[in-house]
């Protein structure tokens, strides 16, 4: 490995580097930039990457999910318009019973059948689409390998290349889940997404509580 390549290795994978990985799977030469790119294969590779990069985020991860995000109603229109990168909008089902739904970029009131809302604001759990540079390296790595498999299948229809990429994709997926699990730290006793921390079982607490109840009943 040359010194130039060594200097590039420690940094995060750029979109150009990801495109070059895809080009390598079909035997094409790498490109230096994606600006005003005349290479048809490079342009197609970029489209495949961005397509799968967006698709993979819609499931929701710890790094692109926001809980209790507040959206204010526009006083002039009575509507709530969300940013274009919001792909999931879920209000508290116990408070609103799925009354408010996202349609396009506007929040729709299913009960009143209107976009003109009678609330000053809404808090919702949302999933956001993030750009390539905003996403974790493990996620971008998985998308790159997955896109390489899809890209090679579309261009070469080669089963050998597809099988090799599928094996790498499985390893990248496992690593992504490991990173996600480390960040989420799910635990039914202490915390996790959608759960509030609460103390573990304490036998003495039940005894004391039962004793107090007996005294009150007496």
Per-residue pLDDT of the chain (218 residues; tens, 9 = 90+): 455 555 555 678 999 999 999 999 898 999 988 886 678 899 999 999 999 999 999 999 999 999 999 999 999 999 999 999 999 999 998 999 989 999 999 999 999 999 999 999 999 999 999 999 999 999 999 999 999 999 988 888 666 666 777 888 999 999 999 999 988 876 666 555 555 555 455 555 444 444 444 444 44
Spatial CA neighbour of 151 closest among 27, 12, 13: 27
Q: For residue 64, which of 5, 123, 4, 140 has the smallest C-alpha distance?
A: 140
Q: Name the token pair of 184.
A: 């989420």
DSSP at 69: E
Count of CB atoms situated within 10 Å of the CB of 209? 10
- Do β-strands 106-109 and 100-103 pair in parallel, antiparallel, or remain unpaired? antiparallel
Q: How far apart are CA 16 and CA 34, in angstroms?
A: 7
Q: How far is CA 31 from CA 21, 74, 120, in A?
A: 10, 46, 51
Are the C-beta atoms of residues 14 and 109 closer than 8 Å to each other? no
pLDDT at res. 2: 54
Alpha helix positions (H), 119-202: 137-155, 159-184
pLDDT recorded at residue 205: 45
CA distance 22 to 147: 7
The pTM assigned to this predicted structure is 0.78
Instruction: Kindly state the tokens that stand for 110.
Output: 């299913």
pLDDT at residue 1 in the model = 44
Q: Which pLDDT score is estimated for 37?
A: 67
For residue 111, give the DSSP letter. Answer: T
C-alpha to C-alpha distance for 91 and 156, rounded to whole angstroms = 45
For residues 70, 71, 72, 78, the Cα torsion angle rounded to the nearest 10 degrees is: -150
CA separation for the pair 142, 170 (Å, rounded):
9
Model pLDDT, residue 193: 52
């Amino acid at each position: 490995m040359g010194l130039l390549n060594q200097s590039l290795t420690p940094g995060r994978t750029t979109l150009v580097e990801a495109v070059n990985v895809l080009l390598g799977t079909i035997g094409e030469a790498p490109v230096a930039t994606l600006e005003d790119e005349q290479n048809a294969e490079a342009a197609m590779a970029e489209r495949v990457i961005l397509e799968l990069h967006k698709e993979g985020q819609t499931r929701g991860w710890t790094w692109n999910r926001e809980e209790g995000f507040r959206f204010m109603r526009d006083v002039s229109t009575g509507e709530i318009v969300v940013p274009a990168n919001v792909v999931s909008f879920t209000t508290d089902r116990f408070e609103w019973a799925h009354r408010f739904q996202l349609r396009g970029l506007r929040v729709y009131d299913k009960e009143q059948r209107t976009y003109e809302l009678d609330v000053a604001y809404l808090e919702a759990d949302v999933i956001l689409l993030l750009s390539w540079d905003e996403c974790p390296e493990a996620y971008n790595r998985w998308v790159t390998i997955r896109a390489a498999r899809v890209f090679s299948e579309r261009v070469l229809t080669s089963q050998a290349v597809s099988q090799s990429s599928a094996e790498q994709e499985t390893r990248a997926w496992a690593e992504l889940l490991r990173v996600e699990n480390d960040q989420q730290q799910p635990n039914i006793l202490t915390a996790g997404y959608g759960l509030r921390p609460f103390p573990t079982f304490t036998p003495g607490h039940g005894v004391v509580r039962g004793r107090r109840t007996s005294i009150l009943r007496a």
